[in-house]
Structure 1
Amino acid sequence: MNKNNSEILSAVQKFGTPSYIYDGEKLVQNYKNLVNALPECVDVFYALKVNPNVSLVKLLRSNGACTEVCSITEMEIALKAGSTPEDIVYLGPCKKDYELKKAIELNIFAIVIESEIELKRVSAFAKEMDIIANVAIRINPDFSAEGSPWKMGGRPTHFGIEEQHAIENFQVYLDTPNINVRGIHVYNGTNILEAKSVYENTKYILELYETIVRKYNCKFTMVDVGGGMGVPYFQNQEELDTQEFRNLMVPLFTNFNKKYPETRIIMESGRLIIGTSGCMAVQVNNMKTNHGKIFAVTDGGTNCHSAAAGSGRVVKRNFPMENISALPTAQEHKYQVSGPLCSPDDIIGRNIQLKEINVLDILLVKLSGAYGPTSSPGLFHSHGYPAEILLYQGESYLIRSKDSTDDIINKQIMVDFKKNELILN
């Protein structure tokens, strides 16, 4: 994030905390940096699951990004943001019937098939609608992506069809009624910081594509190689080497494109595009010392940013943080930064060095553009989801209102139990 602290403080004072703040110029630049590191034959699809805010998707779409969605709501967001069905792929291991029917009706570029049962369902719906449905077969590869802390291939998983089974049975998929198999999709891992790992992963997928094409003498019009490029959140991590990435990926994709010029090459990205363009702002509500440690209690914690709190990780490491309201001359101290929850795990900064903190100070959790509110338990203690703010071209925009008490309560339904009471004589 490149915005200065005064811009961020001004936005926070205007729209409140807890809130997520996004740098629009940084977002666009991250997207363009990725596009420029790839040959023209590759289309970049933004993965809405990392951050589906419609204004952010619209900004990326206006700069050429296609969209990868994982629910009917994400699909509607993509369409509202200006995506066309031709530039949407739809993933996810649990697609409801009405979601599949909607995707078929819209004639999106590809429904990514996660199982043979799902393929049969799509076939049946397409037959009912007298439509040919475009699909891609998701394969769970034997190969496991090195350098990924969250591997999604090469092991038992609910994603896709096992590689050898898919290869042996691909003719069945090709022969399925009312189905046009555009090609394959493989996603092996996420938050990969090594260009070589992305290259090896992609090379394996392209070779798998060729294996199937040769075995069944078929023509594909799509290969989705996933992506998984990451962000260095913690100390001793280095960012993806863009030049090495370009040197490896350009010849790989270019050579493939020469052999299969009619095949659309899709590379997905979410975290790399938006991760560094966002931060979370929280306000300090209370200060206390407990068992020799200083606690800064803020209005946003695990409920707003579970990733920063280390949810799901054995080793809890701090995201970069800053006290942006501290004086430049303030001394640093070691703090525990907590959120508002009655939970011992609600710590977003552990033994972290920050400039002197006082009540009402504004703290920033950086590198927070991806998997912030979308992967956090926003209804914990009924606090609701934080606000979202976009800083772009000198303006600040509220792009999501903070949940109010009414927002939460009005979705609940209180039963009138008196109607069901038994009158005892």
Structure 2
Amino acid sequence: MTDTAPRTGTAVRPPAPRPAPGAPAAPGLPPVPTPAYLYDLAAVRSAHARLRSCLPEPSSLYYSLKANPHPAVVSTLHGLGCRAEVSSPGELDAALEAGVPAGDILYTGPGKRDEDLDGALGAGVRDFAVDSVHGIGQLDRAAARHGVHVTYLLRVNPGGGSRGAGLRMTGEPSAFGADAEDIAAHPGRYTGGRHARIDGLHLYLATNIADEAALGDSFSEAIAVARTLREALEVPLRTIDLGGGFGAPYARAGELPDYPGLAGRLAQELDGALPGWRRNDPAVAFESGRYLTATCGQLLTRVLDVKASHGQRVVVLDTGINHLGGMAGLRRVPPLHPDVVPPAGPGTERTGGDGPDAAAEPPGPAMICGPLCTPLDTWARSHPLPAVAPGDLLAVPNTGAYGLHASLVLFLGHPAPLEVVTDGGRIVRSDRLAFVRRAAAT
């Protein structure tokens, strides 16, 4: 579990050591150096099965790589039937590295550079999502440069609002989507050109909704908008991507929410609004990132220091906002109030420090800080914590989504944490992102 690449500049992932085919499973995981993200592929498969049971059939499911683009996670979900939804050259590279064929990739995002489109088209991607009239023309010109024909989903920004959402994506001025009213009033602007033609609609109204009724209401709104615009556009639409919004615990103990009545509700509404959907005319799609991966991960960390300061117990860990929660302040993820608990699973046994300075402080509330040279590196001002000493192992649960890849990993130059993938009680992959500074043409 060592890394040898330098770590400044462009992110790279060194080749992963993989077990030989047929290698016997280890009786238990070896101790994992910290800090480390530990991803369990069995939990990924369990979450996928749970989500599929909540969706109407037939329907397809995209995996949004923004939640966790680790190749082992992406490969597992693609093997379960998920297409990949990417929104950057880096995510495209991650999907291709994971073995996802270009024909199974949807390239989204509200702003794309010409070189982004050229790279995607050169890699074989032919399905895109666009958010504006300009985006349609830009994609059409790019496809013409490559001598190919492509299709796109037109992302829609309807009015209204979704209750219970962790983050509202539409219904207000936004980079995401074309206004539904303008599409209905000027449908000819949105159907494409000679090399890029509309294939369907993309509606993603909100995210991180744990309440089933609220999530159902969000999808109901999307279905109603899709029905109206399908009639207004007067061109065949083969796909209606209703987006996601499925909630999941973030950096706290807890289970994935259940939506037992959602599939039946949506099937009934789709029968009324899009009566051919059961024959895939149009095909209905959903997408998810956090629900599929949140509960597969835990962030392992060791205690570096324990002290009392002005009457407050202070615990310093070897990880902090550089590895978890950096984007919480940007509202991309909920505010960070992590649970810090004893770790779970093999290979996470407590191995506390020794010596005269390693005595455990008594249990009770503690200020939990990371190792960064800034007072901003604080996860909690007062968090219940057992008796710990330097060297003790702790964990933050449910960090498989928006963990490392929504962090401030370059801030203050600490090494990136390991990413360790387990399956069936054994390690199947272990690697570390590194950063290399390269000369660039100016």
Quick check: TM above 0.5? Answer: yes
Partner of 1:361: 392
Mapping for residues 25-64 of structure 1, pairs under 5 Å: 25-64=42-81
Cα offset for 1:30? Answer: 0.2
Cα offset for 1:357? Answer: 1.1
- Assess, with a 3 A threshold, how the Cα gap between structure 1 residues 172 and 279 changes in structure 2: closer, same or farther: same
Per-residue Cα deviation, 1:182-206 (whole angstroms, up to 9, x for no partner): 0111111111111222222222222
Cα offset for 1:129? Answer: 2.7
- Assess, with a 3 A threshold, how the Cα gap between structure 1 residues 169 and 105 changes in structure 2: closer, same or farther: farther
Cα offset for 1:381? Answer: 1.0
Per-residue Cα deviation, 1:258-315 (whole angstroms, up to 9, x for no partner): 43432221101010110011010111111111121111101100000026x9534699
Q: Paired residues, what number? A: 398
Is 1:303 the counterpart of 2:329 in the alignment? no
57, 76, 84: which is aligned to 2:101?
Answer: 84
Instruction: Determine the C-alpha separation between the residues in 2 that align with 1:268 and 1:139.
Output: 15
Q: TM-score, normalised by structure 1?
A: 0.86
- Assess, with a 3 A threshold, how the Cα gap between structure 1 residues 245 and 292 changes in structure 2: closer, same or farther: farther
161, 164, 175: which is aligned to 1:147?
Answer: 164
Cα offset for 1:180? Answer: 1.5
Partner of 1:13: 31
Per-residue Cα deviation, 1:26-76 (whole angstroms, up to 9, x for no partner): 111101111122233111111000100011111111122211101122122
279, 287, 298: which is aligned to 2:306?
Answer: 287
SS at the partner of 1:252?
helix
Q: Is the 8 A contact 1:321 1:364 kept in 2?
A: yes
- Aligned AA (1:93): P
SS at the partner of 1:209?
helix
- Aligned AA (2:88): S
Per-residue Cα deviation, 1:4-38 (whole angstroms, up to 9, x for no partner): xxx9xx75724x11110011111111011111222
Is 1:176 the counterpart of 2:207 in the alignment? no
Is 1:393 the counterpart of 2:424 in the alignment? yes
SS at the partner of 2:329?
coil
Instruction: Determine the C-alpha separation between the residues in 2 that align with 1:128 and 1:61.
Output: 30
Q: Is the 8 A contact 1:190 1:228 kept in 2?
A: yes
- Aligned AA (1:159): F
Instruction: Determine the C-alpha separation between the residues in 2 that align with 1:102 and 1:312.
Output: 29
Cα offset for 1:256? Answer: 5.3
- Assess, with a 3 A threshold, how the Cα gap between structure 1 residues 195 and 57 changes in structure 2: closer, same or farther: same
Partner of 1:219: 236
Choose 333-342 or 201-210, whichever is displaced more.
201-210
SS at the partner of 2:261?
helix
Mapping for residues 62-141 of structure 1, pairs under 5 Å: 62-106=79-123, 108=125, 110-141=127-158
Is 1:321 the counterpart of 2:340 in the alignment? yes
Choose 157-166 or 234-243, whichever is displaced more.
234-243
- Aligned AA (2:167): W
Q: TM-score, normalised by structure 2?
A: 0.82
Q: Is the 8 A contact 2:299 2:395 kept in 1?
A: yes
Q: Is the 8 A contact 1:41 1:257 kept in 2?
A: no
- Assess, with a 3 A threshold, how the Cα gap between structure 1 residues 212 and 223 changes in structure 2: closer, same or farther: same
Partner of 1:277: 296
Cα offset for 1:247? Answer: 3.7
Is 1:375 the counterpart of 2:406 in the alignment? yes
Instruction: Determine the C-alpha separation between the residues in 2 that align with 1:190 and 1:12.
Output: 37
Cα offset for 1:321? Answer: 2.2
269, 276, 282: which is aligned to 1:263?
Answer: 282
SS at the partner of 2:420?
strand
Per-residue Cα deviation, 1:133-168 (whole angstroms, up to 9, x for no partner): 211111111122211121111111111212212222
Cα offset for 1:326? Answer: 6.0
SS at the partner of 1:49?
coil
Instruction: Determine the C-alpha separation between the residues in 1 that align with 2:272 and 2:45.
Output: 28
Which runs of 5 or more structure 2 residues have no equivalent in the other structure? 1-24, 344-348, 352-360
Partner of 2:21: none
Which runs of 5 or more structure 1 residues have no equivalent in the other structure? 1-6, 415-425
Q: Is the 8 A contact 1:326 1:355 kept in 2?
A: no
Instruction: Determine the C-alpha separation between the residues in 2 that align with 1:377 and 1:353.
Output: 26
Instruction: Determine the C-alpha separation between the residues in 2 that align with 1:389 and 1:189.
Output: 31
- Assess, with a 3 A threshold, how the Cα gap between structure 1 residues 320 and 239 changes in structure 2: closer, same or farther: same
SS at the partner of 2:61?
strand
- Aligned AA (1:360): G
Per-residue Cα deviation, 1:340-360 (whole angstroms, up to 9, x for no partner): 112222122331112111110
Q: Is the 8 A contact 1:145 1:153 kept in 2?
A: no
- Assess, with a 3 A threshold, how the Cα gap between structure 1 residues 38 and 142 changes in structure 2: closer, same or farther: same
- Assess, with a 3 A threshold, how the Cα gap between structure 1 residues 131 and 45 changes in structure 2: closer, same or farther: same
SS at the partner of 1:50?
coil
- Assess, with a 3 A threshold, how the Cα gap between structure 1 residues 205 and 391 changes in structure 2: closer, same or farther: same
332, 335, 338: which is aligned to 2:366?
Answer: 335
- Aligned AA (1:291): H
- Assess, with a 3 A threshold, how the Cα gap between structure 1 residues 11 and 388 changes in structure 2: closer, same or farther: farther
- Assess, with a 3 A threshold, how the Cα gap between structure 1 residues 315 and 274 changes in structure 2: closer, same or farther: closer
Ranked by relative contact order (alpha carbons within 8 Å, sequence separation 6 or more), the top structure is 2
Partner of 2:7: none
Structure (1/2) with the larger helix percentage: 1
Instruction: Determine the C-alpha separation between the residues in 1 that align with 2:118 and 2:142.
Output: 6
Q: Is the 8 A contact 2:71 2:97 kept in 1?
A: yes
Cα offset for 1:246? Answer: 3.2
- Assess, with a 3 A threshold, how the Cα gap between structure 1 residues 40 and 87 changes in structure 2: closer, same or farther: farther
Q: Is the 8 A contact 2:56 2:264 kept in 1?
A: no
